[in-house]
Structure 1
Amino acid sequence: MRTMSPLSRTLGIVFLLALPLPIFIVFGASFNGSAYIQFPPESYSLRWYIEAFTDPRWARAVGTSLWIAAVTSVVVTTISFMAAYFTLRYAPRINTMLELAIFSPLFFPHACMGVAAVALMAKLGIVGTPGAIILAHVIVTVPFSYRPVHVALRSVDPDLIRAAEVMGASELRALKDIILPICRSGILTSLLFTGIISFDEVTVTMFLIGPEITTLPVQIFTFIQDDASPVLAAISTISVIITFLAIVLLERVAGLTFFVQRSGS
């Protein structure tokens, strides 16, 4: 096996160290004591974190993003599981076509999807409502939900299902007692990963917000246009911490291997 040259190893280390550098800069700027974003800070203060936690606009935006992400993750994971279970068990011939349809949102820029979402939601009369945002987030996140669920279902030994049927278990009983426990890691991966994506989604969401509802990423983008104070760095740091904790939980509970495994393996 070929070993990496010292130059390649050094470049790789520099590249890996450079990736989180913007996050550390934002983190440092969030403790700046002055009224404008500056790095390195001339003075240190927690005033911007205090403002972030006491300003009702930020608390409302965080709460909205969290519950929309939670609902989206449950809905899209349920849809993905039902679609994967049906195709693997009853219609394997359409599996390729179904995957193409599910992964199709990855082929389009989010700005184009936002315009299409506005047109669709306008016809449904739900623009500016939580339902419109959740529906758009389901479409955006379904490719990331389907893969771990599909891989988990492919790992179920068909002989276990046949043995349960021979013993008189109904399909619902086999699903509840055999399939779901085996697929728990894939389901948890889907729930957490799609929740993270929904929580951070901004491009499509910008087209669908209304006067009564906005999410944290959209609130940050709107605030930048009016007042780029260090409270943005504090809010961004809090958002990064929430996402990081969710990824750590995902790795501890289920692992990230579902995103690198091949479906046929």
Structure 2
Amino acid sequence: MKTIGIVLLLLLPAPIFIVFGASFNGTGYIQFPPESWSLRWYVDAFTDPRWGRAVLTSLWIAAVVATLITAISFLAAYFTLRYAPRISGWLELAIFSPLFFPHASMGVAAVALMAGMGIVGTPIAIILAHLMVTIPFSYRPIHVALKSVDPDLIRAAEVMGASELRALWDIILPICRSGILTSLLFTGIISFDEVTVTMFLIGPDITTLPVQIFTFIQDDASPVLAAISTLSVVITFLAILLLERVAGLSFFVQRQSS
């Protein structure tokens, strides 16, 4: 059984290594192992303005989504834990409900909603859809971090004359720093890599990197796709390493204390 587990662990990253090797292929088509070695596809990726625009769009949308959803999740978790613990279970059910539906169906629902608002093909539509997709992954680490705050600290601060806002700023936020950073980085990664829902909402003036890759596959399967995919994997991998270093991944597996 242990051997099977080791084999599976070795096979899981195999597609990534295949894409990595194909990105250095000197021929004009994707092939592994490469017949010859070349960096021409990385040069094409960095010099083609389409890829640069798509990367910058994905990055700034991911940054906006991560910031907004982290603030929303913190306020929701803080309110329910402090003032309405009885509705905490129902709120969590609503927050985690996006995990129950396929992204394709969420994309159809999103485009129907955004079309009624007249914002399909705009950054606002993509940001709103990404907020819906990322909220389960934002709420969980923040909720766990807030649960770890000792209520006696808050009561002591109030006894000493601190206002609720002062206690929130000086006590709760520093204690929850790891959960907040986890939410920011993890939701940023998810937003950066989101493709299925985003495909329904792009327009002629805006597209993200994952959608650009998907569109390019249908027109031209040159090794530049492998180069772009490799760069995307590297960006995601570095973000996960940063997440593990500054906060750790335990917030997604830690059980709540009864």
Give the alignment's Cα RMSD to 1 decimal.
0.6
What amino acid maps onto 1:203 in structure 2? T
In the alignment, what sits opposite 2:157? 164
Once the two structures are superposed, residues 48-77 of structure 1 have per-residue CA deviations (whole angstroms, 9 ceiling, x without a partner) of 000000100000000000000000000000
In the alignment, what sits opposite 2:101? 108
Q: Is the 8 A contact 1:150 1:263 kept in 2?
A: no
What amino acid maps onto 2:231 in structure 1? I
Once the two structures are superposed, residues 189-216 of structure 1 have per-residue CA deviations (whole angstroms, 9 ceiling, x without a partner) of 0000000000000000000000000000
In the alignment, what sits opposite 1:72? 65
In the alignment, what sits opposite 1:229? 222
In the alignment, what sits opposite 2:37? 44
Cα deviation, residue 123, structure 1: 1.1
Unaligned runs of 5+ residues in structure 2 are none
What amino acid maps onto 2:104 in structure 1? A
Q: What is the CA–CA distance in structure 1 between the aligned matches of 2:179 and 2:131, rounded to whole Å?
A: 17
Cα deviation, residue 263, structure 1: 2.6
Taking structure 1 as the reference length, the TM-score comes to 0.97
Q: What is the CA–CA distance in structure 1 between the aligned matches of 2:55 and 2:250, rounded to whole Å?
A: 29
In the alignment, what sits opposite 1:253? 246
Equivalent pairs: percent with the same residue? 84
In the alignment, what sits opposite 1:216? 209
In the alignment, what sits opposite 2:49? 56
Q: What is the CA–CA distance in structure 2 between the aligned matches of 1:11 and 1:93, rounded to whole Å?
A: 45
The ranges of structure 1 where at least 4 consecutive aligned residues each deviate by more than 6 angstroms after the TM superposition are none
Cα deviation, residue 262, structure 1: 1.3
Residue 78 (structure 2) pairs with residue 85 (structure 1): yes
In the alignment, what sits opposite 1:197? 190
Residue 131 (structure 2) pairs with residue 138 (structure 1): yes
> In structure 2, the residue corresponding to 1:146 is in which secondary structure?
helix
What amino acid maps onto 1:248 in structure 2? L
Q: Is the 8 A contact 1:144 1:193 kept in 2?
A: yes
Q: What is the CA–CA distance in structure 2 between the aligned matches of 1:179 and 1:144, rounded to whole Å?
A: 20
Residue 125 (structure 2) pairs with residue 125 (structure 1): no
Q: 1:17 aligns with which of 10, 14, 21?
A: 10
Cα deviation, residue 9, structure 1: 1.2
